[in-house]
Structure 1
């Protein structure tokens, strides 16, 4: 087993993961309620960039809270899926197979 080569490959993969995470900051996910009264924009790294609320929702606090929970959860789920697919692609493509190492990249 070439330990030095494996360590170099590991460092290279870690750098690719960091580069992918930076790139995911530029991947935008848009989500909205079915009636378009609430819109959310976030990055694939799950950083919220904007929330747009229609004035009609401001009249009903409970409805607004329900909308926020529903739309934010849908947006976060989409962003998480994109994030996972991208990071999995990097780690599966470049990682030497060492038992237990996959846990380091979660």
Structure 2
């Protein structure tokens, strides 16, 4: 019976840590850049775009397609960084737990 009570305590502790981690991730802001810094996208921890900065030199009619590609690339860069931070925080939180490989947390 003690083992079950100890396990329940660990579960509650893990839940509290998971909630704190989710709050930290939601509060993150991550910048992604492309074109050597000509385009910068800022995302929050949930992947929502919060800001888009475009160097004025890109505002030419001929360069519209290039600008579109740079925006997509900057967004992908920021999203990749946010996902890497989330994965690292999750690894730190779940260190030592028998979680199957490839299982994504937080749910």
Under TM normalisation by the shorter chain, which class is it? 0.7 to 0.9
Contact 1:37 1:54 in 2 (8 A): yes
Q: 1:62 and 2:65 equivalent? A: yes
Root-mean-square deviation (Å): 2.6
Cα shift at 1:8: 2.5
Cα shift at 1:45: 3.6
TM-score of the aligned structures, taking structure 1 as reference length: 0.75
Cα shift at 1:104: 7.3
Q: For residues 11-34 of structure 1, what are the alpha-carbon distances to aligned partners after superposition, in whole Å with 9 as ceiling and x for unaligned?
A: 221221111111123332222224
Return 5+ residue gaps in structure 2 as ranges.
Answer: none
2:6 counterpart residue number: 5
- Report how many aligned residue pairs link the two structures: 102
TM-score of the aligned structures, taking structure 2 as reference length: 0.74
Cα shift at 1:46: 2.5
1:32 counterpart residue number: 33
2:74 corresponds, among 71, 76, 101, to: 71
RCO higher in 1 or 2 (8 Å CA, sep ≥ 6)?
1
1:82 corresponds, among 63, 82, 85, to: 85
